[in-house]
A and B are shown apart, each in its own frame.
Chain A
Amino acid sequence: MEKPTNNAAWLFVIPVVLLVAFNAIMPLMAVVNYSVQDIFGPGQAYWVGTEWYKEVLGDKRLHEALWRQFLFSGLVLLIEIPLGVLIALAMPRRGWAVSLVLVVLALPLLIPWNVIGTIWIIFTRPDIGLMGYTLNSFGIPFDHTASPLDAWITLMLMEVWHWTPLVVLLAYAGLKAIPEAFYQAAAIDGASAWKVFRYIQLPKMRGVLTIAVLLRFMDSFLIYAEPFVLTGGGPGNATTFPSIYLVKVALGQFDLGPAGAFSVIYFLIVLLFSWLFYQVLQNVGKRSAR
């Protein structure tokens, strides 16, 4: 049987195609274009093939930035996902307290990213900051502008404070969607609180947790504004993440070729890991049943 065709349907598809083209495909192609040319100025570009890719892949400072990035994103996922689930489990399910807790939790999400960095700069300053001054007056030297470890601690605290609420909200929505009958059946079957979590709540949260992991991975892997404001990539290069390095190369040194090549590699890494996380999380329950 022949499928009915109606060309008017294009009218409904074209807006999306145009939007995606302007939004994603054309900028990406521009970057690919830069990555294979040496550009001296308008109209002065020379084809260099894979030259920039070779250079970028051998760049030691980029390697360091990438490993730093993996460490950072790994810590983010390891801390924020379990913490978010724990907080969601502890939240009230009904009553007036629900709206109060939700509003308080959502506050960090509503603050502009560069402001977040400024807040934490002040909070951790050794001379006037609440946290920095308190720690130092207890005899614990703390200064994120001097010590790489302190810079990382500040960065992680800021990141967890800023983004765990998102995981909490997603997990909470997942928990609220579980019908009461599941808890009732578990009570009748004599299941412990741990088993209720393991066999009801966790499997039912899989969908939202997949989204949480993907969002937190992508966002944290591309992090720029907060560390840029907080540390500017320092002390030394201790918090120089690929995005910060990339901006330095592209806009600071105006090396569009290497910056383009690295952007493409950066993009492919994010794509690859997002796909991996998605596959693993979609199949994790299915395999355990075999």
Chain B
Amino acid sequence: MYSMKWPESAPMRGGLEAVIGAVSDVAERSFFAMVESCDGDRFAELTAAHRDWLSASVSFDEPGCAGMVTCHLPMLLAERLFDAFTGRDPDEPPADVAEVHDLVGEFANMICGSWLTRAANDRTFTLGRPEVRPSAEPVAGGLSLVVDEQPCVVAVAFTRVPEAVTSR
């Protein structure tokens, strides 16, 4: 289910497919997790099972273009990603909240960087420090994906795009 709007003037190649490719690449290579798309009904069902969510945002900026990539995921998925990333044994103490936030921030950071490398390889973006906060539910308007059987929303929002192109 892809409901994200994409500005025509955005100087990125590959559209939403580049975003999906970045999420899949990051999830599989660093977190050993599988990514699937899913229909709205299934996604709603998966989403309803979670009350505690995290939202991680990473800004990107260069003279012609700026915006933000945000990942919304349930705490359960965040903890699973943490275990996969760090190789935590079941016998070890669980991650504390600060560590999980750091990990989810890095997840968003890698997705943002991987997407920009695919979509705008000839440009040099500055990425902001990830901002992670708890939320009650995922926002609407992003890519609705399933990561290791858990819901995950990835949204790209542009705050600045080239003027010359937007005026077409």
Say whether A associates with B: no
Chain B interface residues (CB < 8 Å from chain A): none
Chain A interface residues (CB < 8 Å from chain B): none
